[in-house]
Copies of this chain bind each other. A is one copy, B any other.
Amino acid sequence: VKISEYEIDLEEAVKTINKKNFKRVLLQIPEGLKVHVSSFVDYIEKNTKAEVIISANPCFGACDIAYYELNELDVDFLIHIGHTSIPELGKQKNVMFLNARSELDVTKVLEKAIPLLKAKKIGIVSTAQHAHKLEQVKTILRNKGFETFIGKGDSRIKLEGQILGCDFSSARSISKEVEMFLFIGSGNFHPLGLQLSTDKKVIACDPYTHEVKSTEDLKEMVLRQRYGAIARAKSCRIFGILIGTKKGQQRIDLALTIKEKLSNAQKKSYLLALDYFSPSVLETFAVFDCFVSTACPRIAIDDYMQYKKPILTPVELDILLNYKKWEDYSFDEIS
């Protein structure tokens, strides 16, 4: 089914619902597609006899699977739209992931990017939405005389050349062979993480805005912010250690290690489990001077400006406590 510029295999979901005679279906939709929610439901209701409940909670990734609703609302089947599954979380019973494959043309923005690719060996990466376009990108680049590389990720990664905001392993798997990376997709966070994680130059191509840019300046700005956050945290005495409770974000052992490190450094700390992070939720905890987040890495970095108190990543806490040097700064990844 085509919804907006995305091809989504709702036919497959409908087939399963009818075959297994599912009565109640839960639908998880990422934020960007929620505006089309009625198209999804109408299609399923038209082609099956199932009753559809929309999970209205914010959903940002495949790390977030609505198991609680699945159990509590007597749901037979969960359709998770817009993300590929995270293989290491295991085969999920009665959960179907349906990627939203963007049909946007990537060739025009690619043409704009080519003059910026000042190297011969190019690693190409993308997010789930555009990963099926990487073969086309590869062919075009090869015809222009580039050598191209598409990597394979670790156990959190489903598609070739795919990266997540918390996992750049598919890029790292080829980073020794390539001179720079070409990223196909939108937003700043993925190409920034790509650069910080591989330490290679990145050209980001946005098929939505047709913007092409190097992430060099962004990297400098974010590193300055992170240095500032670590510096501000130096004088903090009471730390809140954030544990994300979403299935694919849970890093409890890491949180416990951090608590011990803080304790050894004579800093008091508390463990906070949280499903959905927002500035207003953290502001309720006035007693904490700053936070360390073991949940989604975006919270600390991408939402930096929204939070009044510093939120450090585990890597940044290691720098603060002298387990690691600033020169060895690395991006927080879940794996």
Contact = CB atoms under 8 A, between A and B. Distances in A.
A275 B57 contact: yes
Interface string A70-110: 00111000000000000000000000000000000000000
Given A54-B270, A73-B273, A271-B54, A285 B243 contact: no
Contacts of A275: 57, 68, 275
A56 interface: yes
Q: In the complex, which range does the number of interface residues on chain A fall in?
A: 35 or more
Given A57-B274, A57-B281, A250 B38 contact: no
Contacts of A276: 57, 276
Given A38-B238, A250-B73, A287-B35, A272 B56 contact: yes
A252 interface: yes
A55 interface: yes
Given A73-B243, A245-B73, A252-B73, A54 B287 contact: no
A245 B68 contact: yes
A274 B58 CA distance: 9
B73 A37 contact: no
A220 interface: no
A42 B178 CA distance: 52
Contacts of A73: 243, 245, 250, 252, 273
A55 to B, nearest CB: 6
